[in-house]
């Protein structure tokens, strides 16, 4: 049941002692990076208690970007064996450097996550995430090999190929974007196959993009599998930072490797367990690019109380979005996931949707285009009209904004290659919305 029983069930006191020790070593290492040397001075002061963590300044994505290329490099360049770079689209990319120890620790962490969900050596693992600078592909790949499962490094190939490999090799576990998991099932049906009956799949790891509990349920039902939420970000290592256990109730964040804080996204003030805010992470084992109090911009909360699985590492709730993806529509704050959640609850509605914000005579207008479920067109026009009315009313009820809704035939919205693009802001004024 445990990949590393001692670490996963370490009592809180021992865990916190380990954290403090590792944090102080990290402060020494971080001072080797030009950015932190300037900020902390040559000799980083050791902390006497974890509570003193909040005396250190935050590190932001903008600082990471501005220090391109080597401002955050904390180890000699000759000890670096790999770099990863985030998919960020504006300005310099953010670059994270890995030593051999970093890579080994990361693959062990991913293996720990997989083992926790019940994956074993005799599983066949199909990795549909992009390989390359994005950490999702290689991160899971090395984790699965470390665990000892046969790994199919297919990457984001065409659906036809994915389905062929799933069938021919009897894939039992897949790693897939949640938006793609639903789309792939429609391709399976187009081939006359039943996603529940014609595959040996038993689990999916879904992550890399925000999704709702409703989407997870839909994936589980459609494929007849258990889907586990997987959270990570390249700044910490990549996937493996937090992962669901068999309880499927929050993701254990591995506190032997990362210090967790939740802060108010506007003021930076610490919030207590249970309160929703921005996740701030400190990596305490990384050699190449350790980061202190990194503002992830991801919104979540710590779930109070212990988990029934026996692990002592705290859990974070599923990510509700990023602090920077909130849409402000005529003064009303809306997160894209609120709309997804509403759509997924309506039967007859498919899995792919797109939100557009238009500007019309100085007023913002929320447009939601959503695909119908593949069989919805067999209904009468009256039924489709009824569905249209239900979608408008449900979104209005959830957000307080009256949307312009377009129902589309299944498969008609453009399919993203990587993470799904859900929001397009077409307003003239930049700097608003997302
Ligand atoms: P980028 O910031 O360019 O997308 P990354 O590949 O490092 O680069 O992506 C990390 C981000 O992806 C996280 O900060 C988070 O916003 C999102 N993410 C990762 N896993 C999840 C998940 N399980 N649920 C929601 N969002 C996720
Ligand atoms: Zn648990």
pLDDT at 432: 35
- Compute the distance from residue 247 Cα to the ligand 2 centre, in Å: 6
Give the gyration radius of the chain's Cα atoms: 22
Find out whether 407 and 381 touch, Cβ atoms under 8 Å: no
Smallest CA separation from ligand 1 atom 25, residue:
210
For residue 162, the model assigns a pLDDT of 98
Of ligand 1's atoms, which has the minimum distance to the CA of residue 89?
A: 3
| Average pLDDT per block of 10 residues along the chain, 434 residues long | 97 98 97 94 85 95 93 98 77 90 98 98 97 95 98 93 98 94 92 98 94 94 98 97 98 98 96 97 98 96 97 96 81 86 91 90 88 77 86 92 92 81 76 33
Tokens of 367: 């447009």
Q: Which residue of 106, 117, 178, 233 sits with most ligand 1 atoms within 8 Å of its CB, as the best mutation to test the pocket?
A: 233
Work out which ligand 1 atom sits closest to the CA atom of 297.
14
Q: Categorise residue 407: left if φ over 0, alpha if ψ from -120 to 50, beta otherwise.
A: beta
CA–CA distance, 204 with 225 (Å, rounded to integer): 7
227 CA distance to ligand 2 middle (Å):
15
Residues near ligand 1 (Cβ within 6 A):
86-88, 134-135, 207-210, 229-234, 296, 298, 319, 322
Residue among 88, 92, 108 nearest 100 (CA): 108
Indicate which residue's Cα is closest to atom 24 of ligand 1.
210
- The atom number, within ligand 1, closest to the CA of 61 reads 2
Sorted by sequence, the CB contacts under 8 Å of residue 408 that are 6+ apart come out as 369, 370, 371, 372
Scanning the structure block, which residue is given the tokens 């239900």?
390
The bound ligand whose nearest atom lies closest to the alpha carbon of 250 is 2
CA of 209 to the centre of ligand 1 (A): 5
320 contacts 339 by C-beta, under 8 angstroms:
no
Closest CA to 184 of 135, 218, 140: 218
Q: What is the pLDDT of residue 362?
A: 72
Q: How far is the CA of 232 from the centre of ligand 1 (A)?
A: 6
Residues of the chain with CATH 3.30.300.30: 327-430
Fold of 327-430: GMP Synthetase; Chain A, domain 3 (3.30.300)
* Distance of alpha carbon 134 from alpha carbon 130, whole angstroms: 7
pLDDT of residue 364: 85
Contacts 24+ apart (CB under 8 A), 56-60: 56/292, 56/293, 57/292, 57/293, 58/268, 58/280, 58/293, 58/294, 58/295, 59/291, 59/292, 59/293, 59/294, 59/295, 60/294, 60/295
Fold classification of 1-324 (topology level): Rossmann fold (3.40.50)
Q: What is the pLDDT of residue 431?
A: 37
Which numbered ligand comes closest to the C-alpha of 113?
2
Nearest to 294 by CA among 111, 433, 86, 109: 86
Going from the Cα of 231 to the center of ligand 2, the distance in angstroms, rounded, reads: 15
Residue closest by Cα to atom 14 of ligand 1 = 233
pLDDT at 91: 62
Residue 251 Cα: closest atom of ligand 1: 23
Provide the pairing of β-strand 80-85 with 95-99.
antiparallel
Tokens of 62: 């903008």
CA of 206 to the centre of ligand 1 (A): 11
Residue nearest to atom 13 of ligand 1 (CA): 233
Phi first, then psi, for residue 326 (nearest 5°) are: -70, 135
Identify which of 210, 248, 323 to mutate to test ligand 1's pocket (most ligand atoms within 8 A of the CB).
210
SS (H, E, C) the chain: CCCCHHHHCCCHHHHHHHHHHHHHHHHHHHCCCHHHHHHHCCCCCCCCCHHHHHHCCCECHHHHHHCCCCCCCCCCHHHEEEEEECCCCCCCCCEEEEEHHHHHHHHHHHHHHHHHHCCCCCCEEEECCCCCCCHHHHHHHHHHHHHCCEEECCCCCCHHHHHHHHHHCCCCEEEECHHHHHHHHHHHHHCCCCCCCCCCCCEEEEECCCCCHHHHHHHHHHHCCEEEEEEEECCCCEEEEEEECCCCCCEEECCCCEEEEEECCCCCCECCCCCCEEEEEEECCCCCCCCCCEEEEEEECEECCCCCCCCCCCEECCCCCECCCCEEECCEEECHHHHHHHHHCCCCEEEEEEEEEEEECCEEEEEEEEEECCCHHHCCHHHHHHHHHHHHHHHHHHHCCCCEEEEECCCCCCCCCCCCCCEEECCCCCCCCC
CA-88 nearest atom, ligand 1: 3
What is the number of the ligand 1 atom nearest to the C-alpha of 234? Answer: 7
Span from the CA of 84 to the centroid of ligand 1 (angstroms) = 14
Cβ pair 166, 118 in contact under 8 A: no
Rounded distance from Cα 306 to ligand 2 centre (Å): 8
Atom of ligand 1 nearest to the CA of 419: 4
Q: Is the peptide bond before 139 cis (omega within 30 degrees of 0)?
A: no
Residue 304 CA to ligand 1 centre (angstroms): 23
Ligand 1 centroid to Cα of residue 325, in Å, is 12
């Amino acid at each position: 049941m445990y990949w590393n029983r001692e670490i996963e069930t370490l009592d809180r006191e021992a865990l916190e002692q380990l954290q403090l020790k590792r944090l102080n070593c990290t402060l020494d290492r971080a001072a080797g990076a030009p950015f932190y040397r300037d900020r902390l001075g040559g000799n980083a002061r050791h902390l006497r208690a974890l509570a003193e963590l909040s005396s250190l300044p935050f590190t932001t994505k903008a600082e990471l970007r501005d220090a391109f290329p080597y401002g955050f490099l904390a180890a000699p360049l000759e000890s670096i064996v790999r770099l990863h770079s985030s998919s960020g689209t504006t300005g310099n990319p953010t670059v994270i450097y890995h030593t051999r120890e970093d890579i080994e620790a990361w693959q062990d962490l991913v293996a720990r996550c997989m083992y926790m969900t019940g994956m074993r050596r005799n599983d066949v693992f199909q990795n549909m995430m992009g390989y390359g600078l994005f950490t999702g592909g290689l991160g899971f790949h090395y984790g699965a090999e470390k665990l000892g499962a046969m790994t199919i490094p297919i990457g984001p190939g065409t659906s036809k190929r994915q389905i062929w490999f799933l069938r021919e090799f009897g894939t039992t576990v897949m790693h897939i974007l949640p938006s793609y998991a639903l789309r792939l099932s429609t391709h399976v049906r187009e081939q006359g196959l039943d996603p529940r009956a014609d595959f040996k799949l038993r689990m999916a790891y879904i992550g890399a993009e925000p999704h709702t509990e409703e989407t997870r349920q839909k994936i589980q039902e459609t494929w007849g599998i258990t889907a586990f939420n997987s959270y990570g970000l390249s700044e910490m290592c990549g996937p493996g930072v937090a992962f669901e256990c068999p309880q499927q109730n929050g993701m254990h964040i591995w506190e032997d490797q990362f210090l967790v804080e939740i802060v108010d996204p506007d003021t930076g003030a610490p919030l207590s367990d249970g309160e929703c805010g921005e996740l701030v992470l400190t990596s305490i084992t990384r050699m190449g690019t350790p980061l202190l109090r990194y503002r992830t911009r991801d919104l979540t909360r710590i779930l109070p109380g212990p988990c029934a699985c026996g692990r002592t590492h705290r859990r974070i709730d599923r990510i509700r979005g990023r602090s920077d993806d909130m849409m402000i529509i005529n003064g009303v704050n809306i997160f894209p996931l609120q709309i997804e959640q509403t759509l997924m609850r309506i039967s007859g509605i498919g899995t792919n949707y797109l939100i557009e914000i238009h500007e019309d005579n100085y007023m913002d207008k929320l447009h939601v285009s959503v695909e119908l479920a593949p069989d919805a067109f067999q209904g009468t026009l009256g039924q489709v009209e009824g569905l249209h009315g239900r979608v408008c009313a449900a979104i209005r009820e959830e957000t307080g904004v009256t949307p312009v809704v377009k129902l589309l035939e299944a498969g008609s919205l453009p399919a993203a290659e990587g993470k799904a693009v859900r929001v397009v802001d077409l307003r003239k004024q930049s700097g608003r919305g997302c």
